[in-house]
Each structure stands twice: as C-alpha cells, then as structure tokens.
Structure 1
Amino acid sequence: MYAQIIAPNGSQVITSASTLDKEVKAQIKYSGNIAAATVVGKILAERAKKAGVTKVAFDRSGFKYHGRIKALADAAREQGMEL
C-alpha cells in the first residue's frame, strides 16, 4: 500500500509512506491488510506534520471508502490530520 501527499499544484510529492518503508515493515507482519493500512496512515500523518501539512484533500482513486482505505484515513485523522 502506498500513500502520498502532493502539493496543491501537483508538481511535487511533499511526503509519502508505504508498506515497503523500513519503518512500516518493522511494525507489520503482512502488508495487505487493515493493520498495515493503519500503520501507513499513522506514519504518513507524522511525516506530513514534520513537513508543515495539517490539512489535505483525500483522493481515494475510485476505491470504495471501507476496509484498508478507511483504516488509512482514520489513522491519519487520529494523528491530527484534517481530511
């Protein structure tokens, strides 16, 4: 699972998180489940805060808002992100 925060004009990626990151891999056993999505959302929000981003528009790319997508969004919200 990958997640990115992109600048409003779309020209650059401000921060990202993925199940392939060492920081995430250390906390998960399997990368394709809700637990992994929660960790990705948490780390993405932490990195966004460090970059000075607190409010984002959530683009789910056509995926239904449930399961892993919902878990990622909920974890980011719990860390203080406004979606």
Structure 2
Amino acid sequence: MKLKFSKHTSERKVNRLKKKIRIRKTVKGTAERPRLCVFRSGKHVYAQIINDVDGNTLVAVSSLGKEDKSGIDMAKLVGMEAAKAATAKNIKDVVFDRNGYLYHGRVKSLADGAREGGLNF
C-alpha cells in the first residue's frame, strides 16, 4: 500500500502511520473479540471498541469534558469507563490496538484501566 502525504507532514507522524498500517494487518476485531482502539491527542485520550467485520463502533469513550485530572490518570479513567461500557454490552474479550503509538505513558495507562475494569486482552 502506497502512502501519500503532504510535504508538510512531519516525519514523526508519517512513521506512526506506517506503524499503524503494519499493526492493522494483523490486528482485526470480530464480533466475538472486537478491537479496542486508542487515539491520543495533545490534551485528550479516546478509546473505541470496534467490530471490524461489520464496521460498527460498539463503544466510544473519551476524556473530553473531564478536566478534573489529566495525563496518565485521565487515561486510566477512560480505560475503566470503556471497560464498564463494554461489560454493559456483554463484551469481555478484546484485541488491543495501540494505533502506532508506543505502549508507554497514556496508552499503557488506558490499557491498565481497561484491564482493571474487567476487559481481557
């Protein structure tokens, strides 16, 4: 797959997107075991649980509007909320998609929060 980027796209972002494509070749979400996808921006963290077979987003949680904590603590809360919403929809097993980010900091904290909330991956 050939990627095309603007000449102004940073090398860091290009490298992350290349990693994302490599990861997505192997990480697929199904109805029995959907994909927990993480996105992080400069200020916020987002988590979605996605069934790739049907193309449906089953659960979506973010740190938007929750300004009482920030960083790693907020990511852990988002992970716990995602797990709580997933268990309400009878989802216990997921595949973790770090979306090209390093498994460190907010991404790791979100994963730990999801595990504490009851998700298995």
Superposed displacement of residue 29, structure 1: 2.2
Q: Which residue of 1 aligns with 2:59?
A: 15
Task: Give TM-score scaled by structure 2 length.
Answer: 0.59
* Deviant stretches of 4+, over 3 Å: none
Structure 2 portions without partners, runs of 5+? 1-44
How far apart, in 2, do the equivalents of 1:80 and 1:13 lie? 19
Task: State the identity as a percent.
Answer: 42
Task: Give TM-score scaled by structure 1 length.
Answer: 0.85
Other structure's SS at 2:82 match: helix
RMSD: 1.4
Larger Rg: 2
Matched to 1:3, the amino acid is A
Structure 1 portions without partners, runs of 5+? none
Q: Tell me the matched-pair count.
A: 77
More strand by share: 2
Superposed displacement of residue 10, structure 1: 5.0
Which of 55, 68, 87 is the equivalent residue of 1:29? 68
How far apart, in 2, do the equivalents of 1:10 and 1:64 lie? 28
